[in-house]
Chains A and B, each alone.
Chain A
């Protein structure tokens, strides 16, 4: 039998063969970190990037005398997220202690929910690139607090294997999370990896649209555990599943699901068995490796949290919150694409660059959709990339709309507009102010142009002769000279017209 731990991807059965022999069954647990001002059970700031251990108190450190108090905003966000996922909101809900010993929590338990989650029985429908619609059933969405952050020191790789000791920062300990758990997803077939990616993307998009999370996967605001099992074709007995932890980018979700399907198929086809265990995803090598098997240590001895009172969200409150839900992101995308008349690729480009809001606001400020798209996904994205910041942090939609208006009015060429954009980004004022202060407007005064054109034509008599002989392509050299003389501040099409006129007119 092949080794269950493949050192590299060369030993893997290919994906299509794996799918011929086995049917994949999936499940996902997605953790969404809420963007409340404070933690779940105490008034410490919920802030990414603060100095180590500056946002802690006796409650989130689990010190004697600490007493948890539920953050109302976190409950509200959880209910809104549940409603957006089509969930029922429980009439009675309570917190439970999940007991375990690990230094990522100083309390020796995670405050979570067990038998009375706040949201249950929802579903969302996702659309794959092929147009296939897949409905993912949500079993539950419950609240819990996040753990602190461990840094493993010593050893070669910064991973726990070989580490000498670990350092702990409890700033994240106690930050509110909603954990969204799907039912088993059957019938995924070849689409299994894409379903994983698209589902997590949909959760992220919904959380962002609701404003309940910053939803930045790179900052760990959205984290995914992917469950995969295989069963032989024709069997209806579920296979043993593995849970691949902390797959933290959309592309990684897709790759990790694909890898686990191939790995498990290789093991099973070789007569081996799958161990029920957690696995770790390695972004660099594109493989998963065994974590610890499920064992006695997973006896979490859940019991109702004695320091917190039960919750009973009133139906009136739930209905009030339902009224605050935004248009579902998938519906919004359909509506905007139709309104803007973008081709699929153009629209995907905007969505993938996370610029839907920016383009929408720019159009609302008066710009044409195509011009807004071109600028955001072109020049602005390029500058943002170079600076390593988000495109929508460079200019406001109103500034861009004003710039586009100047181009469309003929005051600026695209080339000049790019210079104006740089001025706006540098904080030199509105586009109109930058045009004035840098003297960048197109020279539309024919008199000034003609002066430059005549000089250029007379300076290149051979070119002038060619144009007079009807070889109009020779005009390019003169146009270039004129544009240079005008420092680019002329409309090249108008210059060309005038060059052809003047070539016949001058003595």
Chain B
């Protein structure tokens, strides 16, 4: 069994700003535990000469030229905003940063 605890899930939920009920924490602790166990099985198969990979495609250096393409209009950009003031997004003041 994995070492995922309810405390870890609660902490992760806080970091991800997801409000979980105690019931959800219990079920997610079980689900995440199973996922971690499954990945651990895959890790058993990987040998020392299998390099860790962050991407399934064997590609590197896929670049774009430095050429301007049209942006959204201000109206398009702001169309999904819950609130706006003039041409800017309006958000609640958040106190712990500057």
Which A residues fall within an 8 A CB radius of B? 36-38, 42-45, 51-58, 61, 63, 69-75, 92, 94, 99, 101-103, 106, 151-154, 159-161, 163-170, 245, 280, 291-292, 296-297, 299, 301, 304, 306, 309-313
Contacts and interface: CB of A to CB of B under 8 A. Distances in A.
A53 B15 contact: no
Given A103-B89, A168-B88, A306-B55, A313 B61 contact: yes
B11 to A, nearest CB: 7
A216 B69 CA distance: 26
Given A53-B88, A69-B64, A310 B54 contact: yes
A75 B60 CA distance: 13
24 contacts: A42-B69, A44-B68, A51-B74, A54-B74, A57-B71, A61-B77, A69-B64, A71-B66, A72-B63, A72-B65, A74-B66, A75-B63, A101-B17, A103-B94, A151-B88, A160-B95, A167-B91, A245-B98, A292-B96, A292-B97, A296-B11, A310-B60, A312-B60, A313-B61
Interface in B57-91: 57, 59-69, 71-74, 77-78, 80, 85-91
Contacts of B80: 63
A307 to B, nearest CB: 10
Given A72-B65, A291-B98, A55 B71 contact: yes
Given A75-B63, A101-B17, A301-B15, A56 B72 contact: yes
Question: What are the 5 tightest A-B residue pairs by CB atom distance, in nearest-first order?
Answer: A43-B69, A304-B54, A73-B66, A72-B63, A167-B88
Nearest to B75: A53
B51 to A, nearest CB: 10
B93 A163 contact: yes
A101 B97 CA distance: 11
A54 B74 CA distance: 5
A120 B76 CA distance: 41
Nearest to B85: A167
Contact of A164 (B61, B66, B93): B93
B92 interface: yes
A309 B66 contact: no
B67 A43 contact: yes
Contacts of B88: 52-53, 151, 167-169
Nearest to B97: A102
A95 to B, nearest CB: 9
B72 A58 contact: yes
Contacts of A71: 63-64, 66
A113 to B, nearest CB: 12
Contacts of B62: 69-70, 309
Given A160-B97, A163-B93, A311 B17 contact: no
A193 to B, nearest CB: 23
B36 to A, nearest CB: 15
A160 B98 contact: yes
Given A159-B98, A296-B15, A310-B60, A152 B93 contact: yes
Contacts of A52: 74, 86-88
Nearest to B15: A299
Contacts of B94: 102-103, 160, 166
Given A61-B72, A310-B55, A310-B60, 6 more contacts: A44-B69, A160-B98, A245-B98, A280-B98, A304-B55, A309-B55
B91 A168 contact: yes
Contact of A165 (B63, B64, B87, B92): B92
Contact of B87 (A45, A53, A304): A53
Contacts of A73: 65-66
A38 B67 contact: yes
Nearest to A70: B63
A42 B68 CA distance: 9
B40 to A, nearest CB: 18
Contact of A311 (B16, B60, B69): B60
B85 to A, nearest CB: 6
Nearest to A161: B95
A310 B62 CA distance: 8
Contacts of A299: 15
A44 B78 CA distance: 16
Question: Which of B17, B74, B93, B94 has the most A CB atoms < 10 Å from its CB?
Answer: B93
B90 A165 contact: yes
Contacts of A169: 87-89
A333 B44 CA distance: 59
Question: Which of B62, B78, B88 has the most A CB atoms < 10 Å from its CB?
Answer: B88
Nearest to B56: A306
A310 B71 CA distance: 26
B54 to A, nearest CB: 3
Contacts of A53: 74, 77-78, 87-89
Given A152-B93, A165-B90, A297-B96, A309 B59 contact: yes
Nearest to B65: A72
Nearest to B63: A72
Question: Which of B55, B57, B64, B85 has the most A CB atoms < 10 Å from its CB?
Answer: B64
Contact of B93 (A69, A92, A160): A160
Contacts of A58: 72
Given A296-B11, A297-B96, A309-B57, A167 B89 contact: yes
Contact of A94 (B54, B91, B96): B54
